[in-house]
C-alpha cells in the first residue's frame, strides 16, 4: 500500500509516533556514504518480526485474560491497530501483489500459495474481531474476555505457522526463481513501498511503540523469557 490511501497512512504514522514522514528511507545525506538498500527477503522477514512481536504482546494479554487480571486497554487496542494497519494494510498487500504472483505464473506451489492467501483473509477477519472487542473485553464480561482470548490464540497459532513457512520455504525459493536483475528491481519496489507507507524512520518508530507496550507488560527485557534455573530442574 502506498500513500494513495492517506487516511490509513496518516493513522499509522500517528500510531507509530513517526515524524517527518515522506522522505525516502535509505537516502544518505550529502557527504555520507550511500547505504545499500535492503533485499526483498530482508524486508519481508523484518516485517514478520514486527508481527511476531505484536503477537507476543497479545499472547501476554491472553495470559492476563486467563488470570482474570485488569489490563491496559490502550495496549490491547494499540497492538491490534498496528496489526490492522501494518499487517493487513501493508505487509499482506505487498505479498499478494508482488510475491505470490511469482509462483502463480509457473504454476509452482499453487496449493501452498492458495493456503497463504486464505490465511491472509482469516487473519484480517480475526483482527477485525479483536478490534471490536479490544475496547470492551476489559470489563467484567467474562464471555467477551473468553472470546478475545480465543481470537488471540487462533491468530497467533495461525500466523506463526504462516510466517515460518514463508521464511523457510517460500522466500528462499523466491530468490532462486527470479533472475538477479528482477530480484533487485523487486527489492527496490518493496523498499519504496515501505517508505511511502511508514515514512522516514517509521519502522524504527513502530518497534519503539511495541517496545513500550512490552515494557508495560513486563516483557521488555529479553531475559524475562529465559526460564529460571528452578524451572529447568
- pLDDT digits over 57-68, tens only? 999 999 988 888
Domain presence at residue 59:
yes
Q: Buried b / exposed e across 119-143, counting CB within 10 Å, b at 16+? A: bbeebbebbebbbebbeebbeeeee
Q: What is the pLDDT of residues 148-172, one digit of tens each?
A: 999 999 999 999 999 999 999 999 9
195, part of any domain: yes
Structural domain total, the chain: 1
Non-local CB neighbours of 215 within 8 Å, separated by 6+ positions:
none
* pTM of the predicted model as reported, rounded to 2 decimal places: 0.81
Task: Report yes or no on 176 lying in a domain.
Answer: yes
Indicate the DSSP class of residue 199.
Answer: -
Please, where are the H alpha helices in 135-179?
142-165, 171-177
Q: Give the whole-angstrom CA distance, residue 95 versus residue 137.
A: 32
| The pLDDT value given to residue 230 | 87
Q: Give the mean pLDDT of 106-130.
A: 93
pLDDT at 175 over 50: yes
Between residues 184 and 5, the one the model is more confident about = 184
Residue at 232 is within a domain:
no
Strands (E), 53-190: none
Angle between helices 142-165 and 110-134 (to 10 degrees): 150
- Looking at the predicted structure, is the pLDDT value of residue 7 above 80? no
Range of the domain at 151: 38-218
For 51, 73, 116, 149, 189, the CA distances from 216, given in Å and listed in that order, are: 18, 12, 33, 19, 36
How confident is the model over 41-64, as a mean pLDDT?
95
CATH of the domain at 48: 1.20.120.520
Does pLDDT of 28 surpass 50?
A: no
pLDDT digits (tens, 9 = 90+) for 195-230: 999 988 889 999 999 999 999 999 999 999 999 988
d(CA 171, CA 165): 9
Q: What is the pLDDT of residue 65?
A: 86
Closest CA to 12 of 104, 95, 82: 82
Residue 7 in any domain: the answer is no
Give the phi and the psi of residue 161 in degrees, each rounded to 5.
Answer: -65, -40
The reply to whether 73 falls in a domain is yes
pLDDT confidence of 22, banded at 50, 70, 90? very low
Residue 4 has pLDDT above 60, yes or no: no
Q: pLDDT at position 214, please?
A: 96
Report pLDDT for 44: 96
Q: Are 82 and 206 in contact (CB under 8 A)?
A: yes
Amino acid at each position: 500500500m502506498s500513500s494513495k490511501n492517506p487516511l490509513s497512512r496518516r493513522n499509522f504514522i500517528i500510531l507509530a509516533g513517526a515524524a517527518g514522514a515522506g522522505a525516502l528511507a535509505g537516502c544518505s545525506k550529502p557527504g555520507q556514504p550511500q547505504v545499500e538498500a535492503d533485499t526483498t527477503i530482508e524486508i519481508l522477514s523484518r516485517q514478520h518480526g514486527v508481527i511476531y512481536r505484536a503477537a507476543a504482546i497479545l499472547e501476554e494479554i491472553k495470559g492476563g485474560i486467563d488470570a482474570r487480571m485488569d489490563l491496559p486497554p490502550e495496549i490491547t487496542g494499540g497492538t491490534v491497530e498496528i496489526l490492522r494497519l501494518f499487517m493487513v494494510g501493508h505487509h499482506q498487500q505487498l505479498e499478494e501483489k508482488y510475491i505470490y504472483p511469482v509462483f502463480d505464473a509457473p504454476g509452482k506451489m499453487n496449493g501452498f500459495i492458495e493456503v497463504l492467501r486464505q490465511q491472509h483473509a482469516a487473519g484480517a477477519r480475526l483482527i477485525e474481531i479483536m478490534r471490536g472487542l479490544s475496547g470492551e473485553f476489559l470489563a467484567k464480561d467474562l464471555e467477551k474476555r473468553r472470546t478475545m482470548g480465543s481470537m488471540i490464540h487462533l491468530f497467533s497459532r495461525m500466523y506463526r505457522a504462516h510466517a515460518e513457512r514463508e521464511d523457510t520455504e517460500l522466500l528462499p525459493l523466491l530468490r532462486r526463481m527470479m533472475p538477479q536483475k528482477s530480484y533487485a528491481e523487486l527489492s527496490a519496489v518493496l523498499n519504496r513501498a515501505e517508505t511511502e507507507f511508514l515514512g522516514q524512520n517509521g519502522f524504527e518508530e513502530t518497534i519503539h511503540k511495541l517496545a513500550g507496550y512490552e515494557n508495560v507488560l513486563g516483557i521488555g527485557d529479553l531475559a524475562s523469557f529465559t526460564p529460571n534455573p528452578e524451572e529447568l530442574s
